[in-house]
Structure 1
Amino acid sequence: MSASSPKSGVTKAPGLPRPTNNASPPPASNGFNARTLWPDLIETPENRWVFECKEIIEKIGTDEPIALEMKRNMEKCLMYFYTLKKKLNLFDHTYTASCILFYRYWFVYGIPTTITECIHISQGILVTACKTMENNRPIEAYVKATCEFLMQNIPSLKSRTNIDKLKWEFRDKLVTNEKKILCSFGFDLNIGNPKELIEEIFSGYYRFNRDHNLPDTFKKAFPKILQESRNFMVQAVTQPVSLLCDGYTFIALSLIYCGLEYKKLVDKEFKYPKNFFRDRFPIEVTSDNFANIFTDYKLLEENFFTLKSNKGAKLQIDSGMVDSVIDEGNSEESGALKLSDPFNYELIRSGEVKEEFLYHIETRVNDLLEKAKQESTKRKANEPITASDGKKQKI
């Protein structure tokens, strides 16, 4: 029935504008229409995720039986992340992101007392990390792998639970907990994943432009140190180190530790080039600050989990030991270096390119071209001269 039908007793008010599906923004000058109902750029919130060592340890509590049970459940959740990383062939980035998000959730909200409920939360965290870091997997893959993990770690569950019913339970819980995880974090998924950041800091772009003039001895040693640094981060993230420092500090911590190990085991004269960290990291690297972080890291290991990956006495690193592998200038030099950096990727990406950088690119391209010509000439000189084959006789 029409809204203006006399039988309904309702008449259409004249002069009212008709509703539309799309709200038209008010006209702006210069032919540009600003979007009023949906912003062009949405800034995601950022919370404080770095805490003092004392605050992290106090979260364990003073009740010994409850603390032991909680740490046992936390260790199972970390084992769950590692197991599903292997079964679903996930990236190391996803594994580290899962551990980071798990510790953040634990620090703010705590974890349930039963292992099944803990795995429910961990499953939601894993899916959130997977969607953030890489391509998502089908929901059946998560549910199947999670149920198999529970069956292996809780033998009593196999005898008293229908596996099909358990799968549907975990499927429903995953849908609910995924929303719960996002809301609990306030949609703050700025993880600052050190495993992802280290690949960006030492990407091919920077190896070609910024790091081409490093000493040859350091160029030979650094790939090994970088690989050990990646392994260090994957191992260290099982302890709540991600609550102790942000992603860039985590990377610098791993590089200093691996540099000290290289100095002790391989080259006693090893040292990072001058201003190595200052030219690459948006943080200040000082010997006193990082000696304190190593001390706090050792305290976290002693108060949380006893794992094969624990460093133990190797974390007894003082400021003098840190000074032996780094060579950073003062803060005045830092400001001058950052202002004069012609290879700043953020400035280049925004369209601001300095003449010094253009000259550098031209020089590098000419060097590569000359190198390619020399290699081609050398290869032709080494090739044996073979007589041309005659025409084959027809049979």
Structure 2
Amino acid sequence: MSAKSSSGGVSSSPILPKPTNNASPPPVSSGFNARTLWPDLIETPENQWVFECKDIIEKIGSNEPLALEMKRNMEKCLMYFYTLKKKLNLFDHTYTASCILFYRYWFVYGIPTTITECIHISQGILVTACKTMENNRPIEAYVKGTCEFLMQNIPALKSRTNIDKLKWEFRDKLVTNEKKILCLFGFDLNISNPKELIEEVFSGYYRFNRDHNLPENFKKAFPKILQESRTFMVQAVTQPVSLLCDGYTFIALSLIYCGLEYKKLVDKDFKYPKNFFKDRFPIQVTSDNFANIFTDYKLLEENFFNLKSNKGVKLQIDSGMVHSVIDETSDVENEISQFSDPFNYELIRSGEVEEEFLNHIETRVNDLLEKAKQESMKRKAKDPIKASDAKKQKI
């Protein structure tokens, strides 16, 4: 491995001394680059977690009584995630991650036939999602919240089960199932959480640099669309849409849906700026492709759960409707790449900064400086300071 030196050249990696018993750290070389030799995040292997709609529906099975019982247990597990999110004050990121991991587990391994065993698995998934997305909670908090949920949903447990004994059972199961789930997923926790990705794609850094020159009417409308898009994702993740598309496709799907709703309810002339999706997402957004995803989403709703958050007929979106709100070029050769994006945060953080980005930053800083000077002059004109007051000594 090599590291870039401060002078712009490339220096060879330092030869580390042989390990000793006291495990003391090796001396730091002048050419050491912490960003290169010690990454912020060690990436785990990624598997294919996107499947065809037909395969997802066929996973339910043809046995009607067993399918109904399975869907009833799955719905209880999703309710469990939402209840524990409220009890433990978890982020929406954690809730969406729990649902994504739960559907992956169900699709590959299935779920137990009893609700108690299903909640055991769900508890392990929730803890795994919490450790991945945010600060972990004490084990007693998970166990207490899980037991209370079961007592409320299975009243027979109150009469025949000792609550303290049940807590110890869930505590032991949690330790076992957490290890089991990590192994079954192959330690692949790169879930491409859409709720997390949307905050990164439209973070303050990108609003300041990449998105500063958008049309003014779109800048006023987009915050409302973005908020509705976040709500859409939290609701849609209760159906197995996460098995249908990856995180970036999920975000684009939500933005297109909310853009169509905004066009229908607020502004009939609304449309995303040219290449809005192409400049921000590593996927190709086409009218036909996303019209098919909306159709598949509607089929999943009809075959899985009847929830209040279901969109129903609103998902009857054809390619013409999608085309009315997007303006994307179809040149495949010019698809955006993270290596050609001057505003790519990961490359900038590693020290690889392009001249285009440096010139852009200089222009933006000068604009902000000029704006600050003008505002200062306006304030002085409105509230002039007397010369005698200015010369007073401070006590």
- TM-score of Structure 1 vs Structure 2, range by shorter chain: 0.7 to 0.9
* 2:62 aligned residue: 62
- The Cα of 1:42 is off from its aligned counterpart by 5.6
Which residue is equivalent to 2:121?
A: 121
More displaced 10-residue stretch of structure 1: 236-245 or 360-369: 360-369
Tell me the residue number matched to 2:27.
Answer: none
Deviation at 1:358, TM superposition (A): 1.3
**Offset of 1:22 from its aligned partner?**
8.4
The two structures have a TM-score, normalised by structure 2, of: 0.86
Within-5 A mapping of 1:335-354: 335=335, 341-354=341-354
- Offset, 1:338: 7.0
Gaps of 5+ in 1: 1-18, 24-30, 33-38, 390-395
**Counterpart secondary structure, 2:317:** coil
Gaps of 5+ in 2: 1-18, 24-30, 33-38, 390-395
**Aligned 1:125-136 pairs, distance under 5 A:** 125-136=125-136
Compute the displacement of 1:387 (Å): 11
Residue 53 of structure 2: aligned partner: 53
Q: Distance in 2 between matches of 1:124 and 1:131?
A: 11
- In the other structure, the counterpart of 1:156 is 156
Report the residue type matching 2:372 in the other structure.
Answer: A
Deviations 1:213-247 (A, max 9, x none): 00000000000000000000000000000000000
Q: How does 1:373-392 map to 2 (within 5 A)?
A: 373-383=373-383
Deviation at 1:363, TM superposition (A): 1.1
Q: Give aligned pairs, total.
A: 360
Cα distance, 1:354 vs structure 2: 2.1
In structure 2, C-alpha distance between the alignment counterparts of 1:65 and 1:183, rounded to whole Å:
31
Distance across 2 between alignment mates of 1:40 and 1:229: 29
TM-score by length of 1: 0.86
* Cα deviation, residue 294, structure 1: 0.2
Q: State the 1:348 CA deviation.
A: 2.3
Deviation per CA, 1:257-286, whole angstroms, max 9, x where unpaired?
000000000000000000000000000000
The structure number with the bigger radius of gyration is 1
- Structure 1 residue 244 corresponds to structure 2 residue 244: yes
Which residue pairs with 2:208 in the alignment?
208
Please tell me whether the aligned partners of residues 96 and 234 of structure 2 are also in contact (alpha carbons under 8 angstroms).
yes
**8 Å contact kept, 2:284–2:335:** no
- Relative to 1, partners in 2 of residues 1:191 and 1:40: Cα closer, same or farther, differing over 3 Å? closer
CA contact (8 A) 2:272 2:325 kept: yes
Shift in Å, 1:124 = 0.2
Q: For residue 196 of structure 2, give the secondary structure of its aligned residue in structure 1.
A: helix
> Distance between the aligned counterparts of 2:355 and 2:95, measured in 1?
42
Following superposition, the deviation at residue 376 of structure 1 comes to 2.5
Would the alpha carbon gap of residues 242 and 40 (structure 1) be closer, same or farther in structure 2, given more than 3 Å must change? closer
Query: 2:324 corresponds to which residue?
Result: 324
Distance (Å, rounded) in 2 between the aligned partners of 1:347 and 1:140: 41
My pick for the range that moved more, 366-375 or 312-321, is 366-375
Residue of structure 2 equivalent to 1:273: 273
Displacement after TM superposition at 1:20 (Å): 7.3
Cα separation, partners in 2 of 1:217 and 1:300, compared to 1, 3 Å = same
CA drift of 1:55 comes to 0.2
- The answer to whether the 8 Å contact 1:279/1:338 transfers is no
1:98 counterpart letter in structure 2: S
Tell me the distance in 1 between the aligned counterparts of 2:40 and 2:328.
Answer: 41
Q: Distance in 1 between matches of 2:287 and 2:108?
A: 31
Cα separation, 1, equivalents of 2:299 and 2:335: 34
- Quick one: structure 1 residues 241 and 380, their matched pair in 2 at CA, closer, same or farther if it must change by over 3 Å? same
Deviation at 1:59, TM superposition (A): 0.5
2:161 partner letter: T
* Cα 1:196–1:41 shift into 2, 3 Å: closer
Q: Percent identity?
A: 90
